[in-house]
Chain A
Amino acid sequence: MMSESIKELILSLDSNAKFKDGKDNRLWVAIESDKLKIVLERLKDKGYNYISAISGLDQIQNGKILLLYHIMNDSPREYPYITIRIELPREDPKVSSIHDILPGALLHENEVFDMFGVNFIGHPNLGRLLLPENVRGDVHPLKKDFKDSVYEGMKK
């Protein structure tokens, strides 16, 4: 019942959404990046007010950076956990910040910027978090084409 309504809700916002039912009651959804904010807002009204993490994924073979928003519901439902997946171009990735909907996402967005160079539009302080502040330019270590002499030596 409830699951249908959540799938329908997402479909009504983004007709191209793709679903995958994972194990452990997790729903994987792939949506357009410009629909992210409205989908999250509607889901928050349904009780999905907790963000576990945002993880980036560099797919160098098809020139995409994927962002996965792992959100969670307070009260037990059919789908307590949802992972929303958006695709961004590898060159100049941009997406709007969601910190006004889920304030807990602030640091995760900072981290993704640091590691993947994704620009979060509307983020109050998008700067280096993990790396020292004197690291300038396009240095994003979790991208697959990141080169570092120490790291290269470690690969067997």
Chain B
Amino acid sequence: MTFNLYFGPFHPALKEPINFTFEVEGEQIVNVKPALGYNHRGLEKLLETKTWLQSGFVAEHICGICSGSHNGCCYQGVERVFGIEPPKRGLYIRTLVWELERIHSHLLWLGVMLHEAGFDTLFMYTWRDRELTLDLFEEMSGRRVVYSMNTVGGVRRDVTDSFLQKLKKYCDYLEERTKFYKKLVLEDSTILARFQNVGVLSKNDAISLSAVGPVARASGAKRDVRYEEPYAVYDESPYQIVLGEEGDALAKTIVRIDEMKVSLDILRWIADNIPSGDYRIKFSPMTKAPENEAISRIEAPRGELFYYFKSEGGTTPSRVKVRTPTFANVLPVVKMLEGQYIADIPVIVASIDPCIACCERITIIDKGKEGVKMITADQLRSYAKKWYEEKYKVERGRK
């Protein structure tokens, strides 16, 4: 007998509006039905009414955590539509924003992940460190969360030398902290017990289900836009791809902590090597675009962010398509949840770093009725069958 367990949309273990229906057999999950759609705002349609200059400011409100990525990716696409190349210094500052944002997002995620595992002290620690990142953002861009740093053809504010000195000091401090976090995660028996072999995603599944970002990299799949298609100044920077092996929650944690270290290296390199000169080019707000289409992809903290622009020669785009990382990671998380225990649900769902607000501009809603099968129903059912067979085999063996 299976039993339906409803989880969300507003559940204390999950701070984002997503609903899962778990079919459980005892403690084990045999079937998962995700139901999204509690946060849909129709931003793609809205973007069709905004001018090229305005589009990035709407795009950065898609997500509160990776606002810099959305903003930058959007303008990178707009620049490709217009055929503009921003000045070098602008690109360096853009990269600085992206990497600083990755650190802030990963620290936030680390806190949430440990909080889901019941380790609240470390949650406080990581969020305190994240506060320093937000202070840097406030000093640089004028706001803590929605930075609005990018614009068509560069960035909107320059960085001062004193800021770069501050940034270096911050990097040194955070380097120590990341070492501390890594040591803690690898040594603490509570964390190991909760994270090891939980929510495993195999490399084959990661590739076939098109997982992105740290989720794919923790399984050993080389999915990183910075690695595949070095945009902005990544081809010159000391960037290195970070790969995991096991694909469980622990590997995802370690990959993200190591990625923070790589980001810190890139930040130091930017602080030392940033060229002087212009940081933006003039762009009039009512410029008409040529008839063109362009694709812009960047590596947001959660994975590949994808923008497609279609211009029909007006002051507004005729179509903007946004594919956010969490949307691509919904199928992998369904896969990860199969066969796991109820107690591990929060950790597994948190391990993909879900950003539902991001994802839900495009969404899934389950009909939730009997007979209407959700997306991977077939795979799930065959999986469940296998699980039963194995279970009975084991039991028979015992007898």
Contacts and interface: CB of A to CB of B under 8 A. Distances in A.
Interface stretch (B23-31, B96-104, B263-271, B322-330): B322-330
B308 A106 contact: no
B186 interface: no
Interface residues of B, number: 46
Given A50-B207, A52-B323, A125-B372, A154 B46 contact: yes
A9 interface: no
Interface stretch (B2-10, B109-117, B275-283, B358-366): B358-366
A112 B36 CA distance: 16
A49 B365 contact: no
Counting chain B CB atoms within 10 Å of each CB, which of A51, A104, A115 scores highest? Answer: A104
A70 interface: yes
A23 B81 CA distance: 11
B261 to A, nearest CB: 25
Interface stretch (B142-150, B252-260, B374-382): B374-382
Interface stretch (A29-37, A88-96, A128-136): A128-136
A63 interface: no
B106 to A, nearest CB: 23
Contact of A74 (B207, B375, B379): B207
B42 interface: yes
B308 to A, nearest CB: 5
Given A80-B228, A102-B210, A106-B376, A141 B42 contact: yes
Contact of B328 (A57, A104, A130): A104
Interface string B378-395: 110000000000000000
Contacts of A80: 228-229
Contacts of A129: 36-37, 362-365
Interface in A124-156: 124-125, 127-133, 141-142, 146, 151, 154-156
B323 A53 contact: yes
A155 B49 contact: yes
A72 B328 CA distance: 14
Contact of B375 (A22, A26, A124): A124
B162 interface: no
A76 to B, nearest CB: 8
Counting chain B CB atoms within 10 Å of each CB, which of A58, A111, A146, A155 scores highest? Answer: A111
A68 interface: yes
Interface residues of A, number: 48
A107 interface: yes
Contacts of A111: 362-363
B301 to A, nearest CB: 18
Nearest to B335: A103
A22 B377 CA distance: 38
Interface in B45-86: 45-46, 49, 80
B372 A57 contact: no
Interface string B346-366: 000000000000000011111
A124 B49 contact: no
A125 B207 CA distance: 22
A72 B212 CA distance: 12
Contacts of A81: 229, 295
A131 B378 contact: no
A63 to B, nearest CB: 16
B164 interface: no
B207 A70 contact: no
A86 B367 CA distance: 29
12 contacts: A50-B210, A52-B297, A76-B228, A106-B375, A107-B327, A107-B364, A129-B362, A129-B364, A130-B362, A130-B365, A141-B42, A141-B45
Given A49-B207, A125-B375, A129-B362, 19 more contacts: A23-B80, A49-B208, A53-B323, A55-B308, A74-B207, A83-B295, A103-B376, A106-B376, A110-B375, A111-B363, A124-B373, A124-B375, A125-B372, A129-B364, A130-B365, A141-B42, A146-B45, A151-B49, A156-B49
Interface of B: 36-37, 40, 42, 44-46, 49, 80, 207-211, 222-223, 228-229, 295, 297, 304, 306, 308, 310, 319, 321, 323, 327-328, 330-331, 362-368, 372-379
